Amino acid sequence: MGVKYQSLFEFASSGNVALGGQFTIPTYEYSRKDNLITAFRLDMPVSFEYLGLNWGVSPRIKKNFHTYETRGGRSLTEWTYSLSLWTSYSWSDFSTGLSMLGGETVSYQGTVRDQFNYSGSVYLSYSWTDKISTTISAANAGYYADTEKGTIGNIDFFDSASSSYNLDLTYQF
């Protein structure tokens, strides 16, 4: 569940700064096993148009709230610091884009994880009408399909063991 203030302020001819927040409802199996109560993520997306492409960058911080600080002999993640980058291009009824998310996690004991992790996705979309569109996408570590599990995943961009491939049909009303 989240809220977003679409335009905190504007800059140049096409720039925009927004502010968003999101609470996690722990529905994923690992979240329940780790006794996640909730998590709150705050982000500040900055978007602009340059060279005919739409660009964006969003620094993000996430705080997890667990019942316990450890589980099964391992220290649980308390903080996640990440940076989301994206670009997209539209022509006629098509649009395409790619995004990357990178970051680092910190445990309740203050231990920074071993490496900087990142994940990514690509998509192609076609709008059949003003209300109906189709999108095909690929992402590693379930980046879009499961934000609880995959907001920061492994580095195998199209690893068949952990990637997600989606075909979506959207109706907007």
Kindly report the CATH number assigned to the domain that includes residue 11: 2.40.160
What span, in angstroms and rounded, lies between the C-alpha atoms of 57 and 124? 20
The answer to whether the CB of 18 falls within 8 A of the CB of 4 is yes
Domains contained in the chain, number:
1
The pLDDT of residue 63 is 95
Give start and end residues of each alpha helix (H) in 26-172.
29-33, 147-150
| This prediction's pTM | 0.73
The pLDDT of residue 30 is 78
The answer to whether the CB of 138 falls within 8 A of the CB of 159 is no
> Residues 43-49: what's their mean pLDDT?
96
Whether residue 156 is predicted with pLDDT greater than 60 in this model: the reply is no
> Residues 60-73: what's their mean pLDDT?
89
User: pLDDT grade, residue 21 (50/70/90)?
Assistant: very high
> Residues 141-147: what's their mean pLDDT?
40
Percent of the chain whose predicted confidence (pLDDT) is above 90 = 46
Domain that holds residue 145: 2-171
